[in-house]
Amino acid sequence: MTNQFDLTDEQREIQDLARRFTADAITPHAAEWDEKHIFPRDTIRAAAELGFGSIYVSEESGGIGLGRLEAALIMEAMAYGCPSTSAFISIHNMGAWMIDQFGGQAVKDKYLPDLVPMTRMASYCLTEAGSGSDAAALKTRAVRDGDHYVVTGSKQFISGGGENEIYVTMVRTGEEGAKGISCLVIEKDMDGVSFGAQERKLGWHSQPTAQVNFDGVRVPVDNLIGAEGEGFRIAMMGLDGGRLNIGACSLGGAQRCIDEALQYTKERKQFGQNIADFQNTQFMLADMQTELEAARTLLYAAAVKVTANAPDKTRFAAMAKRLATDTGSAVADRALQLHGGYGYLMDYPVERFWRDLRVHSILEGTNQVMRMIVARDMLKQ
């Protein structure tokens, strides 16, 4: 007998599979990937062999056709080993899902057979140097010329930039604002596509990030996802799932930090006793786990709403992303504090999680924008 707050047997099996994969293939290597800025392409492809490159791509298109809660469980499990690598796989999933959900048969047939096994990898291109939070102000333009669009502009902070082969890109085909935006699939090796230098980042060192530039790139009209003018709506629907996944990455990373802090405080002695025996330590650990469980419960509830296409799905995805990512960073910070001076050293994993989780409050919509989304939805009622 299960109730609505339990995972099903199938969900537990998926979670166990992802945890085993992480323990074998991610956790032992993540510190080296971070330190040496290694992009673990082979490990990511191994995750795709388990179906993790196409979690909510339909079975008809070759994906594993799961819901957003299952996706969150997978992302959370992989982030326990490396939030940066887990987040990268999440972004690929978002691109593949957008093609599957909104693309015509021709574009699906063209790209999904390579995206599902991640022999080609997808990036999501929305942000520009001048339009971050104000995404509807984007300037990259696509002008129709016969059976092609000619695309000119550039995208900033693109995960996979320069490495990935497929760029699901928001472009302006019409008027100013959200209604003039369309979605095109652009390939790395199309003439006129180029990349900026790899960004030097605080964290997320296991994945490439670069500016993507389009200089008169000719893109077949068949590569349009949805209809002209539907791009912004598609982009925002993609972000509902992306926000859940990035929140789940914060949950997994923060849980790792708690577990590391538990182990450390049970072993480290000061004033003649283990740090874990001090009431101050116990109160900190209890608060960290309590706050993380609250964020986890909200995120799982939001994931069920997004799968069900509930009318309040966007509000819940925004609330869950805001709470999970802020809580994740706060938990990592306290875990580092519990390690004392050792927490600041790269010999222990908490400093890497502290760096990796910090960006989650910024990307997929800043947490200030999440508050705007929630409040606007409340005020509409």
Burial pattern 333-359, b for ≥16 Cβ within 10 A else e, equals bbbbebbeeebeeeebbbbbbbbbbbb
List the alpha helices (DSSP H) in the chain.
Answer: 9-21, 30-36, 41-49, 68-79, 83-102, 105-115, 231-267, 279-307, 313-338, 350-358, 367-380
Distance CA 138, CA 216 (A): 17
Per-position DSSP letters for 214-239, written without gaps between them = EEEEEEEGGGEESSTT-HHHHHHHHH
364 is an active site residue: yes
Phi/psi zone of residue 278: left (φ > 0), alpha (ψ -120 to 50 degrees), beta? beta
Catalytic residue among 163, 291, 351, 364: 364
Q: How many beta carbons lie within 10 A of that of residue 372, not counting itself?
A: 14
Burial pattern 106-127, b for ≥16 Cβ within 10 A else e, equals ebbebbbeebbebebbbbbbbb
The partner residues of 183 in beta bridges, in order of sequence, read: 170, 225
Burial pattern 229-252, b for ≥16 Cβ within 10 A else e, equals ebbbebbbbbbbbbbbbbbbbbbb
- Give how far the C-alpha of residue 269 lies from the chain's centroid of Cα atoms, to the nearest Å: 38
Distance CA 39, CA 29 (A): 11
Catalytically active residues, by annotation: 364
